[in-house]
Amino acid sequence: MFRKKSKSLVALSLLLSALVVVSGCGSKPAPTTPAPAAESKEPIKIGFLGAKTGDVAIYGLNTLKGLNMAVAELNKKGVLGRQIQLVEEDNAGQKDQAINITNKLISSDKVVAIIGDPTTGITRVAGQIANSKKTVIMSAGSTGPDVVEIGPYVFRDTLLDTIAAPATMKYVIEEKGWKNVALITSKNNDYSVGLSKIFADSIVKLGGKVVIEEFIQDKDTDFSGQITKIKAANPDVIVFSGYYTEGALIMKKAREVGIKAVMVGGDGLQGDDLMKIGGEAVEGSISYAGFSPEQPTPKTEAFITAFKAKYSNELPDLFAAQGYDALMLIAKAIEEAKSADPEKFKDTLAATKAYDGVSGSLTFQASREPVKSPVYLLEVKGGKFALLKKVPVEIK
């Protein structure tokens, strides 16, 4: 009897255990899909690479003014619901400092894009680093060769020398009739070396002649030897492919020895110090640019008005305008790609066509090289840069 009772109790115990298990399974909630991770609300960091001090500080400082204008405008609405944070550095126009800063911006500051440097030489070294670390870099000033060829993360929104220099020489040779050219190159300036080649090729193709070629170096101050030789060659025009400081000193020496030919150059001559240093000697000098505040479009006029209000009635130059456009282009690409990941938005950026910027219309070709229109020819008149002629560029 005891054994039968034990068996009954065991059976009952097993039955109750089974019911508990079944009941537990029946009450278990259905699995749910994990909620998607919330989008980051951290600021989107953009690095500024340029000179705030040194000989070419005007380029960097004006680029920075344009960038700050763009940041303020973008942050009214945000980009992907996030604010733009500009991380500023100063490379003082030195390549070694630019290398250190580029590495810091990417590795420590975690920027998704870098805007700068305005110069070709520094853009090349910074571009190598940014491209290898898959970070977008856009120069708002470099115009020389071998920049975007570095790789798919390297961009610029500038008027290219290969477009502007031939347009300038066409005006010089065909409209002004200045066919005999004295060409001056700064040997330690990558921008100058590259631009001189473009000028020289254009001069020959347009029926002109380089009657003498002379060489200087950046930071030289005595050009007596070169100017003496140039005077003997009796050119119609002096084409200088370097920067405004040396350009001003060259023309002061030229006027001292009685040379009446004017100077023609690229956007490296775009700086108020050209007039401050050169004075009357640089009157009539002609250079090209990708921007002019004269004859603005409605969009450009709105930018100029806002810029003058922010910067004590100062007019923006091409570096300010191109700096502004550079950040606006990157923000547009981030919005369209729905991602601040450079690996994703770089392709959207590269697909930009007929972008209506404050510095003109811009289209990136398959090579990522920009085609901008128009070319602005500027003349020094009354101590200021004045619009001489707008030359349209066909954008295919």
The residues facing 356 across adjacent strands are 361
Number of other CB atoms surrounding residue 294 within 10 Å: 14
| Domain ranges, residue 105 | 44-159+296-364
Give domain status of residue 36, yes or no: no
Q: What strands lie across the sheet with 154-156, from one edge to the other?
A: 84-88, 44-49, 113-116, 136-139, 154-156
Do residues 327 and 247 both lie within one domain?
no
Share of the chain above pLDDT 90, in %: 82
Do residues 101 and 198 both lie within one domain?
no
Give domain status of residue 2, yes or no: no
Please name the amino acid found at residue 218: D
SS percent in the chain: helix, strand, coil, step 5: 45, 20, 35
Do residues 252 and 268 both lie within one domain?
yes
Do residues 95 and 144 both lie within one domain?
yes
**What is the predicted pLDDT for the residue at 14?**
37
- The total number of structural domains in the chain stands at 2
Which residue has tokens 């002096």? 238
Do residues 170 and 202 both lie within one domain?
yes
CA angle, residues 32, 34, 40, in degrees to nearest 5: 160
8-45 confidence digits (pLDDT tens) = 433 434 333 433 333 343 344 444 444 444 456 899 99
Do residues 250 and 273 both lie within one domain?
yes
Do residues 144 and 92 both lie within one domain?
yes
> Tokens for 146?
């071998």
Do residues 233 and 339 both lie within one domain?
no
Q: Give the integer Cα–Cα distance in Å for 339 and 79.
A: 10
140-199 confidence digits (pLDDT tens) = 999 888 999 999 999 999 999 999 999 999 999 999 999 999 999 999 998 999 999 999
Do residues 266 and 323 both lie within one domain?
no
Residue 390 C-alpha from the chain's centroid: 22
Do residues 83 and 72 both lie within one domain?
yes
CATH label of the domain that carries residue 257:
3.40.50.2300
Q: Where are the alpha helices (DSSP H) in the chain?
A: 2-27, 57-74, 95-107, 120-132, 161-170, 190-205, 224-233, 244-256, 273-278, 298-310, 318-337, 342-350
Q: Is the dihedral of CA 69, 75, 78, 82 positive or negative?
A: positive
**What is the predicted pLDDT for the residue at 288?**
95
Do residues 127 and 215 both lie within one domain?
no
Do residues 166 and 152 both lie within one domain?
no
